[in-house]
Amino acid sequence: MPSNSELVFNKGICLHKLGKLKEAIQFYKKAVSLKPDNTDALINMGNTFQDLDDPYKAIEAYKKALSFKSNSLEAINNIGKSLFSLGFLDKALEYLNKAISINPSYLDSYNNIGVVYMQQGRFEKAIEIFKKGISLSPEQPEIYYNLSFGLLASGKIKEGLEAYEWRKKTEKFLSNKREFSKPEWDGKESLKGKKILVWSEQGIGETIRWSSRLPLLSTKAEKCILECQDKLVPLLKRSFPNIEIKAENRDLDSQRNDFDFHLPMGSLYRCVLDEIINSTKPNSYLIPDPNRVIYWKNRLSSLGNGPYVGITWKSSLLNSLRNKNYSSISEWGPILRIPNITFINLQYKNYEDDLVKVKNEFGIEIHNFKDLDQYENIDDTSALYAALDVVISHNHSPHLISSAVGTPTKLANWRQNTNNNSFLFAPGGSRVDTFEKDTSETWENVFGQIAKDLLNLK
């Protein structure tokens, strides 16, 4: 390892960029040991700890940097961000406001303050602070992007969708952008006699959610094409026979001539807003293979009497902020203690220990179909969901699939995640009952309410 602090620090930066975060930490620590007041190394160390989802160690590094450079805006701002991820919202605001008091033009803090206000449910305050940041520097995609959620959450739908268009200038979008020679549709030019390509820009959850509105677009055009994730093609082909459904293929994007306009899927709602407002959500809009639905109904009946209730309690992607959306399986007691219900596992990863825990704690079995890959085989998974009587889920893909196939769905929701159930990110189907808790509450009341609902099934 080099002995010069700056050389060691630069090696850490390279490792961080390569995604070798733990190795980068070691080089930052070495740089600090060689030069204790290397505030850049300390701040980068804090940033890396944040990326490793260790906000406490991140705060420790940032505070060490402040001990040498008390007015470091980056360190002060990033302590605020770390406190936010830990849920200490008032304390986060103290640091973020301190950064602005030092430099009233420090844009990152305006953005972060708005995000904190959003989680506090103070949408008008969030909108105000986002707009203040934009007034200082109009070309700020990240602030516009966060502003869109504040506007949508406060019911300002048209303005929110316009602000959401700024996502197209964010690094995340640009890294996934498709480059076509044909223009993007603006939602205004007539599609009569035209062909339009809609392409999935985010995960399967958003593709499933937003596909509910595809028929509103396809009626405007001579032909509508959707390119999406390969594993969704069979289900979407069956569900939308008037739309050409294809797996995404970027190989010849710049040379393609099989459409007149294209549209990233996140812009669909903006372009057909009037039609959405004047229509109602369907009870279902995805059609599983009917033979597989019969198969799964027979297989469920072989386990015992119904009702058959599918449950999922956590995402496969967890961190200190996302964790607030999910529960531990032990918290499901009010539901799992209901007698004469056959429970079905809808987790597709990291569930084995929890199934054992349920057997030990509650003396019941959550049935698991090991031969069904619920992550890859979405088509057959949708048939299982359609065969169930009820699905209970937190806010991730399963509740979007179950509501889309028309299965009654109970959504256990963390209220302060403001894009959970907003206009743009609500389930596409109508058969969803939402039960919410605040950050300061446990899941007990939510699961108690859902348990009361389940008693009506019997």
Q: Can you list the domains of the chain with their CATH numbers?
A: 5-166 (1.25.40.10), 195-277 (3.40.50), 290-455 (3.40.50.2000)
pLDDT band at 325 (very low <50, low <70, confident <90, very high): confident
Torsions phi, psi of 132, nearest 5?
Answer: -65, -45
From the CB of residue 223, how many other CB atoms can be counted at a distance below 10 Å?
Answer: 17
Whether the predicted pLDDT of 88 surpasses 90:
yes
| Cα dihedral value 274, 279, 281, 283, nearest 10 | -150
Residue carrying structure tokens 């959620």 = 149
pLDDT band at 320 (very low <50, low <70, confident <90, very high): low
Q: What is the DSSP string of 18-42?
A: TT-HHHHHHHHHHHHHH-TT-HHHH
Question: What are residue 223's DSSP bridge partners?
Answer: 195
Q: pLDDT of 1-51, one tens digit each?
A: 455 888 998 999 999 999 999 999 999 999 999 999 999 999 999 999 999
**Considering just the CA atoms, what is the radius of gyration of the chain in Å?**
24
What's the gap between Cα 187 and its chain centre? 26
Q: pLDDT of 362-371, one tens digit each?
A: 999 999 999 9
> What is the mean predicted confidence (pLDDT) over 305-310?
94
pLDDT of 306: 85
- How high is the mean pLDDT of the chain? 93
pLDDT of 318: 58
> What is the mean predicted confidence (pLDDT) over 106-133?
95
Is the N-terminal amide bond of 307 cis, ω within 30° of 0?
A: yes
Torsions phi, psi of 180, nearest 5?
Answer: -110, 155
How far is the C-alpha of 43 from the C-alpha of 1, rounded, in Å? 21
pLDDT of 388: 98
How far is the C-alpha of 201 from the C-alpha of 267, rounded, in Å? 10
Whether the predicted pLDDT of 319 surpasses 70:
no
CA angle 415, 419, 421 (to 5 degrees): 65
Single-letter amino acid code for the residue at 250: R
Q: pLDDT of 223-242, one tens digit each?
A: 999 999 999 999 999 999 99
pLDDT band at 420 (very low <50, low <70, confident <90, very high): low
pLDDT band at 321 (very low <50, low <70, confident <90, very high): low
How far is the C-alpha of 256 from the C-alpha of 132, rounded, in Å? 42
